[in-house]
Amino acid sequence: MSNPVSVEDYRRLARRRLPRLLSDYIEGGALSESALNRNVTDFEQVHLRQRVLTGVEHVNLSTNILGTDLAMPLVLAPIGLTGMYARRGEVQVAVAAKQAGVVMCNSTMAICDVREVTAAAGPVWYQLYLLRDRAYMKILLDRVWAQGCTVLALTVDVGVPGERQREHRRGMTGELGPLGHLTRAIDGITHPAWLWDVYAKGRPHIFGNVNEAFGGGDGGFAAFWTWARTAMQVSLTPDDVAWVRENWPGKLVVKGVIDPDDARRAVDAGADGVIVSNHGGRQLDSALSGIKALPRVAEAVGDRATVMMDGGVRTGEDVIRAMALGAKGCMIGRAWVWGLAARGGAGVSHVLELFRKQMTTTLVLAGCDDVRKVGPDMLA
Ligand SMILES: Cc1cc2nc3c(=O)[nH]c(=O)nc-3n(C[C@H](O)[C@H](O)[C@H](O)COP(=O)(O)O)c2cc1C
């Protein structure tokens, strides 16, 4: 396919280029992958009013979310291991986001250290997984703040990793036997473009932001996951949110909230915003999709905090649908990951351009000239 025109096209291209270990890691969800699938299909039930005799021709997409000026209401979601999908992937993504006038949220589980990313792209948003080692947490928060990053997304839904069977099947989460090593080697060798770009030229493959805490070396997923399971704090409480609040001078947004009660707790503990998210369908398989959960969370939070959502956002029209249901903007995950894996930074830029065009078209056809005016009155 030489002319990708959709996120789905990029998914197919990415699947060809990446070893199966990685394409399954990205695509997969928990258990039956019902939450994963509903994240996408539930958008189909959100209908916008088609308004044509309105004379709208030009639209404004720019907005401001949590103090960050954005050319469109999009933030690139934090994705672990991005530097394994393309050479120094986090840097490429952050640069592409900046060029499009938006921002990437850098994962704690990134390959590239946040300092490598900000040196190339300037300040980004930063996503935090809370480790039990609070002294290290303070060092990391100070480091991120010193880079000029002003928004921290505290992810609260992965105290325990979801049951992702594709990851177990590929040996991503456990020890590999001799045959497993052979299978993995074949998986790599049969994807030569990836092998050259990432495996050979993209080193070091360490978890840049937590490597000091992990104390590990290059590679070794199994050793890393074993460490992460004990190092990460299982089961958070509002006190943990409050601890981060005390130690982070910038904006704090709590990511991974589906239930209105959790949203209220997060805001009571000092969060400036919440991201309605089921972690891309990777955690609780029976959880509501982000788009289904959004209206009740938005209602619970009211004007007290900023509400964003993610999960299954595949088009610019999906972003407008979410905004009509109460979100200030969306995060996109797999959409940009597939662009990156298929075509590097240029793929991410193209995906963002697709979103920009689709949002523009949607607003014109819905008779709205400014994305900041999108609201429930646009729902059919
Ligand atoms: C491969 C992969 C890795 C992810 N890693 C992280 C992570 O490190 N931190 C985090 O907060 N969320 C992580 N997420 C969840 C995303 O930030 C986001 O919530 C989700 O991808 C949104 O759904 P979508 O992919 O359908 O857009 C990850 C998701 C995927 C698919």
To test the ligand 1 pocket, which listed residue (167, 209, 279) has its Cβ within 8 A of the most ligand atoms?
279
Query: How much distance in Å is there from the Cα of 50 to the middle of ligand 1?
Result: 32
Q: Residue ranges of the alpha helices (H) in the chain?
A: 7-17, 20-27, 34-41, 89-99, 114-121, 134-146, 165-169, 178-189, 192-194, 211-214, 221-231, 238-247, 260-268, 290-301, 316-324, 334-365
The answer as to whether 1 is a domain residue is: no
- Residue 102 belongs to a domain: yes
Which residue is closest in CA terms to ligand 1's atom 27?
Answer: 333
Q: Is 281 left (phi over 0), alpha (psi -120 to 50) or beta?
A: left
Q: What is the Cα–Cα distance from 75 to 90, expressed in whole angstroms? A: 14
Average pLDDT, rounded, for the chain: 95
| CA max distance for the chain | 67
pLDDT at 234: 77
Q: How far is the CA of 254 from the centre of ligand 1 (A)?
A: 14
Buried-exposed string 252-291: b where 16+ CB fall within 10 A, e elsewhere: bbbbbbbebebbbbbbebbbbbbbbbbbbbbbbbebbbbb
Asked if the structure places residue 25 within a domain, the reply is yes
Give this prediction's pTM: 0.97
Q: Express each pLDDT in 326-353 by its tens digit.
A: 999 999 999 999 999 999 999 999 999 9
User: What's the rounded mean pLDDT across residues 81-86?
Assistant: 97
Q: Please indicate whether residue 356, judged by its CB atom, sits closer than 6 Å to ligand 1.
A: no
Q: Are 319 and 363 in contact (CB under 8 A)?
A: no
- Statement: residue 73 has pLDDT above 90: yes
The verdict on residue 380 lying in a domain is no
Q: What is the pLDDT of residues 185-203, one digit of tens each?
A: 999 999 999 999 999 999 9
Report yes or no on 2 lying in a domain.
no
Assess whether pLDDT exceeds 60 at residue 219: no
Domain CATH number, residue 360: 3.20.20.70
122 and 98 Cβ atoms separated by less than 8 Å: yes
Cβ of 28 less than 6 Å from ligand 1: no
In a domain, 115, yes or no: yes
Cβ–ligand 1 contact at 89 (below 6 Å): no
224 falls in which pLDDT band (50, 70, 90)?
confident
Contact predicate 124/94, CB 8 Å = yes
Query: Given a cut of 90, is residue 57 above it in pLDDT?
Result: yes
Q: What is the pLDDT of residue 349?
A: 99
Q: Which residue out of 47, 58, 168, 279 is catalytically annotated? A: 279
**pLDDT band (50, 70, 90) for residue 217:** low
Which letter does DSSP use for residue 197 in this model?
Answer: I
pLDDT in tens, 84-119: 999 999 999 999 999 999 999 999 999 999 999 999
CA of 333 to the centre of ligand 1 (A): 6
CA of 25 to the centre of ligand 1 (A): 11
Answer whether residue 196 is part of any domain. Answer: yes
- Count structural domains, the chain: 1
Cα 95 to Cα 226: distance, rounded to the nearest angstrom: 32
Segments forming the whole domain that contains residue 368: 7-373
* Percent above pLDDT 90 for the chain: 87
Q: 379 lies in a domain?
A: no
Residue 218 has pLDDT above 70, yes or no: no
